[in-house]
Structure 1
Amino acid sequence: MSKAVEQAALTVESLAQSVLSRLPELTDALVATIYAQNPAYEELDSVPRQDLWRSCHDNVARVVQMIAGTDDHFDAAQATGRRRAEQRMPLDDVLKSFRLGGRLVWEALIDEARAQGMAESEVLLDVAGKVWEVVDRTSSQVAAAYHAAERYLVRADEQRRSTLWEGLLQGRADRALVQEAATVLDVPVDGPYLVVAIDNLVDDDGTTTSFARRLARLRVPSAWQVRPQAVVGLLALGTESAEVVLRVLRELVHAPAGLSGVVTGLAHVDVAYRQAMLARRTLPVGRIDVAPLTERLPEALLLSAPELAEQLVQTWLVPLRTLPTSERELLLDTLDKWVTAAGSVRRTADLAHCHRNTVINRLNRVHQITGRDVSDGGRLELGLALRAFRLFPA
């Protein structure tokens, strides 16, 4: 090291030591400057004043030490980045404070140089470059620590949100969990709820966001989660009717979906979730619609008791499976219309657009194949058997 370089290093170290001797005073000045020129610290009120003071104190000390060449650690900067991420202070405002701190350190070094009669020294040019180099490096460390902490917080938030969803949908929600879920999901604790379960054809958050926005126009707050089997929506009805919400969902949703009955309060959405999933299963294969449970209760009952559904099919319709497809479908369609017409041959003929004798002949054909006389009572059973036949085609 040349004598000139050595002398310059001693000069910078001397200035730095003088600045460090005034560290509490400089920290007070920096905190006041931040509050005056960076209003986010007061507006957001997420960083306590003592926290800000300690951070400014430690970072000014480290910056000055690095300028003097006596230290090269970024522990204070990294701690500040992590802490501000946890406090949800915007990174731009954090970095602005570091720039304010760099300017204050530079001004403090100039003041000391003047006091020591070195205001015209070429050494100060080197000091200026060193100040902003250190501030840039320190700011990079702050940003890196901030982003790392932010990623961790996002993962933690997602995990907690997922835990809250699971608690609600699996019926493990105690009062504390319900209150926290209402806060995190931004939905009310009490009041009527619907749950919608949509086949998972959604691959981005934009779709559920558009659902939420459209429902918000009806003053129906909602929360959405993309699950492996389905996209689930919690819909807080408020004063809106379930019929209006169903109409809007049918406009929005272009995939098979099920809609629950109304339940009271966030604590009971597990019941509504099971109902919505069951309602979804009542839709025939390939049909795109939002199926409300209230309109598909017979199918839901059959799905809930598949062994009884199979017994109904065995009792009434199994022999029809041996027929050619065209004849089988014709007879099943006639039976559907006969049940709808409450056993009236004339009304069945009107619905099937054929002569009443044709209806009688088809019913006799069913009697011949199955051994069951449909005119001899059992219309309710036959209606359920027909629904079961559609639900369990195999």
Structure 2
Amino acid sequence: MSDTGTSIAQSLAASVLLRVPALADVLVRTIYEQNPGYRLPTSVPAEDLWQSCHDNITRVVQLVADRAPGPEQPAGDAYFDAAHATGQRRAGQRMPLDDVLRSFRIGGRIVWEALIDQARGQGVDDMDALLDVASKVWEIIDTISSEVAVAYHHAERRLLRADEQRRAALWEGVLNGTAKDPAFAHEAARIIGVPVDGRYAVVTVDVRAEDHGSVALLQRRLTAARIDSAWQVRAHTLVGLLALGDSALDTALAVLDEAVDAPAGLSGVVVGLSDADVAYRQATLARRTVPTGRNEVASLKERLPEALLVSSPELAAQLVQVWLAPLFKVPAAERHVLLATLETWVAAAGSVRRTAELAHCHRNTVLNRLHRIHQITGHDLTGAAFHVDLALALRAARLFMPPEHD
């Protein structure tokens, strides 16, 4: 800009600075007319908007009177304090950035019109100088808009981290029983995006870092089955909160069986978000009933005996020791045959005939194997009183025996 242009710009800006409060009034009215987002009841408070318009108009006009910011001679940060403050506040108010920047463009036009009005009043007719002033105004608006966007994005990232921390804290509260407090339950439901009341189940799924993208697939498939869900990663476990609505638990299990390729546990049904902690404990317990090396969804209602065993591993180990320990000392080939026969015999309620049918062998073969088991373990298998103990011991063996004993 020439010396003449600079002198004219400074003179016009000095006069316009005296009119800033009136210009702020005009800008506020124009924003309400041309930027509908600001008319929403939850939008920027009127006093905040007016003060922001006042402060930013002041800075723009001051920059017109001074040297415009640029790569060779950037203006001091003091020139951008209003822009930074506006960007930060609008991010916190969840005002879309496009609406914020549109208001700055409106403000730039109003400042330019005010400078032109002042030029007419002062009789300035140097068109080259006025074009230089116009160019300077829009360079300033572009620079300030960039500063607003930078401040907005910084604040948005901070707010996102705070939102994530708050959401994680609410999840922890739900899973730890804090949702028994109605006020907490309502806030958690609002933030997590689930109903306070209704039928719930919880699923826990083992995940690796690369598996986190599977959440979207799970949500889509459950939604297709009319089941809403929300998900949270805790360490290496993906926790799903399933709002069943009128859907059956078996429907959720069928979806999970098809979509999950990892060890997982599904709780029973509880009523209300207040009992989600109970469902979470059940799902965790059900997950523990999945044998090592197996990828399957264990439903608690189908694994109640196993759940009892994993709840008391010492007693489970004692059952195995009392009933089955000697069998693990025989060669693997014979051991597998004897254990399979024993499991079939228990499933057949001690019927030799039914065991033979299920095992596809002669009843005498079954009797010989049962006699061999009696020889090895010392237990007489002809009575019925021990069936519960033996059945639990066999389940415990499947749960707790290392792979080499399978």
TM-score by length of 2: 0.92
Q: Which residue of 2 aligns with 1:97?
A: 103
Contact 1:27-1:53 at 8 Å conserved across structures: yes
- Alignment of 1:352 with 2:352, yes or no, is no
Contact 2:17-2:61 at 8 Å conserved across structures: yes
For 1:114 and 1:352, how far apart are their aligned partners in 2?
Answer: 105
Aligned-partner residue type, residue 127 of structure 1: V
Runs of at least 4 residues of structure 1 off by over 3 A? 7-10, 201-206
Q: Which residue of 1 aligns with 2:167?
A: 161
In structure 1, the gaps of 5 or more residues are: none
| Secondary structure at the counterpart of residue 178 of structure 2 | coil
- Alignment of 1:125 with 2:131, yes or no, is yes
Matches within 5 A, 1:1-394: 5=3, 7-43=4-40, 45-69=42-66, 72=76, 73-173=79-179, 174-201=181-208, 203=210, 206-377=213-384, 378-394=386-402
Deviation at 1:43, TM superposition (A): 4.5
Deviation at 1:202, TM superposition (A): 5.8
**Deviation by residue 1:67-89 (Cα, 9 ceiling, x = unmatched):** 10188511100000000000111
Aligned-partner residue type, residue 59 of structure 2: R
Deviation at 1:131, TM superposition (A): 0.7
In structure 2, the gaps of 5 or more residues are: 68-74
For 1:26 and 1:101, how far apart are their aligned partners in 2?
Answer: 9
For 2:383 and 2:296, how far apart are their aligned partners in 1?
Answer: 36
| Secondary structure at the counterpart of residue 258 of structure 1 | strand
For 1:115 and 1:172, how far apart are their aligned partners in 2?
Answer: 69
Task: Tell me the percent identity.
Answer: 61
How many equivalent pairs are there? Answer: 391
For 2:278 and 2:35, how far apart are their aligned partners in 1?
Answer: 50
Aligned-partner residue type, residue 398 of structure 2: R
Deviation at 1:94, TM superposition (A): 0.8
Aligned-partner residue type, residue 69 of structure 1: D
Deviation at 1:64, TM superposition (A): 0.3
Aligned-partner residue type, residue 166 of structure 2: R
Deviation at 1:181, TM superposition (A): 0.5
Deviation at 1:229, TM superposition (A): 2.8
For 2:211 and 2:205, how far apart are their aligned partners in 1?
Answer: 14
For 2:213 and 2:114, how far apart are their aligned partners in 1?
Answer: 51
Contact 1:201-1:255 at 8 Å conserved across structures: no
Aligned-partner residue type, residue 266 of structure 1: L
